[in-house]
Every structure is written in structure tokens, then in C-alpha cells.
């Protein structure tokens, strides 16, 4: 949807409201004369529901108008009612659903806390934007403050990011989408502490990015950082002989610069960050696996751009997390609904990050054409942000990216590589492997690696890596 689609003049809004009122009147007359079973009470309840829906539609239009005037960004959380009235000429009456008990100076609606202040183009279209709640002003929140009391506990009026406004029945409210692309609540204080250390010390996240990753409001983030004494300036110093730092990527910040439409709602559980040896604040994000193809079709995808065989069946895969180990390594296992399973192990050493991917056929049929897409994204590595393929060297199985000054390199390679390639828009580069065909009950393992190089003779570095015999280790 284009950002200008929902821009409306005051005159058009009045005409729309009048049209809605006429429709309501005709609907009531029709109901009255066509069904003796419909009571006045039910007819009035329906009328109130439609009027509240009309109000919500007007507010949704105002939200889009505001966003159009502010570089695509929605109003901030603490003043959204005020800003709509001040800057979009929103009628305060539209903020009141009389059946809620709200009066002038109050609002019957709340804004989804996860979308406030965000750019519309960065949000999923089916996210909740506005919803009905108890009377208040500039209210933000989530499903915990949504109410169905206004409409006899039968449901709630809801506006979505894409501009749709509808009455959602009470039995369908739990299906509403509130969260951002990979929003995860911490399991406990220890888990929250780990992720705050991950995000503040190493990934240098802003509070807004931490909110996107954890769902916590800014005041709770600040309180937790103070409680755990987590500050950018007290990050522990790493030993010089320590292995390369590898951490789970926390989500909350898109790992790409461009081509975002090719990676909507990226999952964090396939992604890990590898920090460069020359700059403790620079890292690349490795996505393993980003995608799996087979004779069945697109069998797995670590974001939502095109439908997998599961998405076409309406099956949503469980959210997972990397298992973290004391030696700095990571691993993850996933079993797909038809019995196919895969696992990834990541082991950092002082000289390279060693990877291993296992694929098992738990189906009753032979699996063929088992192509894997593994991605290395360089957005957050200083000197590697250029959106070009002129700084890539692709020599099967090696794919390498050169820094802007030409002195440093990031190199990846996979056993069984069937294609090396790069995407200048992201920017990213690939060494993509292919598994052998698997009969039912069979499994196979492929090895990969990622390393860093300082120098100018990349061909010599490829030869040195080859002599190590990394495929056999």
C-alpha cells in the first residue's frame, strides 16, 4: 500500500461519515422490518458497534495522514491522541465510543505499543494498529488492555497497519498479531540479563531496538539496565588469545541495508553475529540456513518473502533459540512438520568460525535437489557497508568481501558448494552448498567456515585455507 493512499481531506471525511450514518440508518430500518426476532436492544447494540467502527476508521485515516507528513512514521506513544488532534485536524469526538463510558477529554481507543513511532513501511500489514480499551488518553499497550465489554463481550473493533478496520469476534481475538518481526519476551531475569548484555555491550542497540527485540517499554529497559549494571562503557575486555566472538543475533535491527522486501519478518534463530578481530564493535551476520529447497519445493525460509510449503498450508513453525555453550559455540535443531530435520553447529576458534550443518530425511519418500542458501551480511562491519559487488571475489567454494580500503577481507566457504554469488543491495555474499539425495532414514553433514584476512593477496589466502584441509576437520 502506498503511503498516500489513505490521505483524505476534511470534506471527504465528512462525506464518508455521512455515508456511513445513512448506511447505518438503512441497515436498522431493514433489520426492523425484515426480522421480528431482532429486538431494539440488539439493533441499538449493532448501531453502536458500527458507529465505534466508523470512529476507529477515522482515527486510522488520521494515523496515515500523520505518517505521510512525518517521513512515514506513526505518532509517538506518549502523545498520539494529542498529535492527531493538533496536526491532522482529528475531531476529538472520533476518539470517543459512547458505549465505553468515555467522555470528552477521554479516548476509547489505544495504540499498539509495538508500532508507535515506527515507520509504516517497516511494519507487517496485519499488525494491530489501534483497538478498543477502557477510557483514557494517549493510551498504548497490547492484548492485556484490550476489552470486549463495550460490545456485550462479543468482540472488539480493531484497526490494522494496512488500513483495514473490522469487528473481531471474541473467539478470534487471540489470533491478532501484536508483535514485531522477531519480538521475544525474556524467560526470566537471567535470560533478560543475557540479552541486554548481548544487545547493549556488543550490538550497541538503542532502547528502541531493544524494545523491538524484547517487547519491553523504555522505562523497563532503563530499570533493567540499571539493576544489572549494563552500560556501553563497562563491557568486559576479551583476552587477546580468545576465540573469535560469536553471539546469537538478537533481532530488533534488520541485518540488511537494502532489499528489505526480500526478507520480511526475518527470524533471529538462524542468525548469529561474528565479530571482526580488528574492531570489537564490527560484526557480520551469518544466516544458516537462510533457505532450504528440495523436490518438495521451498522447504524452509528464515523470513517471510515467499511462501514455503508450510506457509501454503497455514502451518506456522515454532520459534526457536540458539543453544549457547561455555566455549562460545552455538547449536540449534529444527524438525519440520513432515519429518525433515536439520541442525547447525557453530564453533569459534582463534583463526576461524567452523560450521556444520546436518540434514536428515524423516519422511517416507526420497528427497532430492537439496539446495541450501547460507548468507553473510556485512551491514554492521565498518568498511564493508558498500552496496556493490565490485568488492566481492567468488571462486568456488570461496566467497570473499573486501573492505573499502582494500586491506581486509571476510571469507566464507562450504563443502559441497554448488553456487557462489552476491547481492549488492543487501549487501551480502554466499557460498551455497548442496546435500546429496537422501533416502528415507538417511542423513548427511556438510562443513563450512568463516574467517578474516588482512592483506591484499586473496588468492594466496584461498590457497592457504585449502591446504588446511578444513573439510576433513
Q: What is the 3-state secondary structure (H, E, C) of 252-293?
A: CCCCCCCCHHHCCCCCCCCEEEEECCCCCCCEEEEEEEEEEE
Question: 444 in helix, strand or coil?
Answer: strand
Q: Which CATH architecture has domain 237-468?
A: Distorted Sandwich (2.70)
Please determine, for residue 4, whether its predicted confidence score (pLDDT) is greater than 50: no
Q: Which of 52-56, 131-135, 389-393 has the lowest mean pLDDT?
A: 52-56
Q: Which strand ranges, in their side-by-side order, compose the sheet holding 140-141?
A: 140-141, 107-112, 128-136, 155-160, 165-169
User: Could you tell me the three cell numbers for 98?
Assistant: 459512547
Cβ pair 266, 291 in contact under 8 A: no
Give the residue with greater pLDDT, 250 vs 263.
Answer: 250
Please determine, for residue 71, whether its predicted confidence score (pLDDT) is greater than 80: yes
Q: Which strand ranges, in their side-by-side order, compose the sheet holding 323-324?
A: 323-324, 330-335, 341-348, 352-360, 443-454, 408-414, 398-402, 392-395
Please give the pLDDT value at position 298.
97
Cβ pair 79, 102 in contact under 8 A: no
Please determine, for residue 334, whether its predicted confidence score (pLDDT) is greater than 80: yes
Q: What residue ranges do the domains of the chain occupy? A: 10-175, 237-468
Please give the model's pTM, rounded to 2 decimal places: 0.68
* Phi, psi for residue 355 in degrees, rounded to 5: -125, 155
Please give the pLDDT value at position 6.
41
Q: How far apart are CA 73 and CA 83, in angstroms?
A: 12
Backbone Cα Rg of the chain: 26
Q: How far apart are CA 125 and CA 121, in angstroms?
A: 9
Q: How far apart are CA 309 and CA 313, in angstroms?
A: 7
Range ranked top by mean pLDDT from 33-42, 69-78, 90-99, 234-243: 234-243
141-192 per-position pLDDT tens digit: 888 899 888 888 888 899 999 889 999 998 888 778 886 655 688 889 999 9
256 — pLDDT class (breaks 50, 70, 90): very high
| Start-end of H helices in 70-188 | 80-88
Query: Residue 473 belongs to what H/E stretch?
Result: none
Q: How far apart are CA 348 and CA 330, in angstroms?
A: 9
Which residues, at least 6 apart from 180, have a Cβ–Cβ distance to it below 8 Å? 114, 115, 123, 124, 127, 212, 252
Cβ pair 125, 181 in contact under 8 A: no
Q: Which of 120-134, 301-315, 417-431 has the lowest mean pLDDT?
A: 120-134
Average pLDDT over residues 239-268: 91
Q: What is the mean pLDDT of the chain?
A: 88
User: Could you tell me the three cell numbers for 383?
Assistant: 568498511
Amino acid at each position: 500500500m502506498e503511503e498516500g493512499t489513505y490521505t483524505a481531506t476534511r470534506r471527504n471525511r465528512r462525506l464518508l461519515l455521512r455515508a456511513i450514518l445513512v448506511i447505518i440508518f438503512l441497515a436498522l430500518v431493514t433489520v426492523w422490518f425484515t426480522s421480528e426476532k431482532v429486538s431494539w436492544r440488539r439493533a441499538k447494540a449493532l448501531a453502536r458497534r458500527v458507529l465505534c467502527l466508523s470512529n476507529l476508521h477515522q482515527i486510522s485515516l488520521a494515523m496515515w495522514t500523520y505518517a505521510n507528513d512525518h517521513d512515514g512514521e506513526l505518532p509517538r506513544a506518549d502523545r498520539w491522541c494529542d498529535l492527531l488532534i493538533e496536526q491532522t485536524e482529528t475531531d476529538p469526538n472520533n476518539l470517543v465510543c459512547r458505549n465505553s463510558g468515555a467522555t470528552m477529554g477521554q479516548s476509547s481507543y489505544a495504540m499498539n505499543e509495538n508500532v508507535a513511532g515506527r515507520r509504516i513501511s517497516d511494519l507487517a500489514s496485519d499488525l494491530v494498529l489501534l483497538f478498543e480499551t477502557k477510557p483514557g488518553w494517549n493510551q498504548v499497550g497490547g492484548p492485556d488492555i484490550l476489552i470486549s465489554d463495550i460490545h456485550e463481550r462479543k468482540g472488539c473493533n480493531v484497526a490494522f497497519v494496512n488500513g483495514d478496520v473490522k469487528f473481531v469476534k471474541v473467539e478470534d481475538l487471540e489470533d491478532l498479531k501484536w508483535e514485531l518481526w522477531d519480538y521475544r519476551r525474556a524467560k526470566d531475569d537471567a535470560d533478560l540479563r543475557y540479552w541486554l548484555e548481548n544487545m547493549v555491550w556488543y550490538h550497541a542497540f538503542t532502547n528502541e531496538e531493544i524494545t523491538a527485540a524484547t517487547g519491553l517499554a523504555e522505562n523497563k529497559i532503563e530499570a533493567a539496565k540499571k539493576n544489572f549494571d549494563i552500560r556501553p562503557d563497562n563491557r568486559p575486555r576479551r583476552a587477546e588469545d580468545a576465540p573469535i566472538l560469536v553471539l546469537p543475533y538478537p533481532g530488533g535491527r534488520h541485518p540488511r541495508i537494502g532489499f528489505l522486501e526480500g526478507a520480511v519478518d526475518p527470524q533471529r534463530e538462524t542468525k548469529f553475529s561474528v565479530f571482526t578481530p580488528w574492531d570489537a564493535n564490527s560484526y557480520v551476520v551469518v544466516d544458516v540456513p537462510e533457505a532450504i529447497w528440495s523436490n518438495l519445493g521451498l522447504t524452509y525460509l528464515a523470513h517471510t518473502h515467499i511462501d514455503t510449503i508450510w506457509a501454503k498450508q497455514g502451518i506456522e513453525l515454532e520459534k526457536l533459540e540458539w543453544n549457547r555453550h561455555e566455549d562460545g559455540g552455538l547449536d540449534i535443531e529444527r524438525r519440520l512438520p513432515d519429518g525433515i530435520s536439520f541442525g547447525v553447529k557453530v564453533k569459534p576458534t582463534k583463526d576461524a568460525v567452523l560450521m556444520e550443518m546436518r540434514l536428515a530425511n524423516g519422511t517416507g519418500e526420497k528427497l532430492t535437489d537439496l539446495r541450501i542458501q547460507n548468507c553473510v551480511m556485512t551491514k554492521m562491519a565498518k568498511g564493508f557497508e558498500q552496496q556493490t559487488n565490485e568488492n566481492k571475489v567468488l571462486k568456488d567454494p570461496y566467497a570473499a568481501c573486501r573492505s573499502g580500503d582494500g586491506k581486509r577481507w571476510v571469507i566464507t566457504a562450504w563443502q559441497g558448494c554448488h553456487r557462489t554469488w552476491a547481492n549488492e543491495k543487501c549487501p551480502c555474499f554466499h557460498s551455497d552448498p548442496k546435500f546429496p539425495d537422501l533416502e528415507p532414514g538417511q542423513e548427511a553433514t556438510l562443513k563450512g567456515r568463516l574467517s578474516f584476512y588482512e592483506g591484499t593477496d586473496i588468492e594466496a589466502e584461498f590457497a592457504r585455507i585449502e591446504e588446511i584441509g578444513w573439510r576433513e576437520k
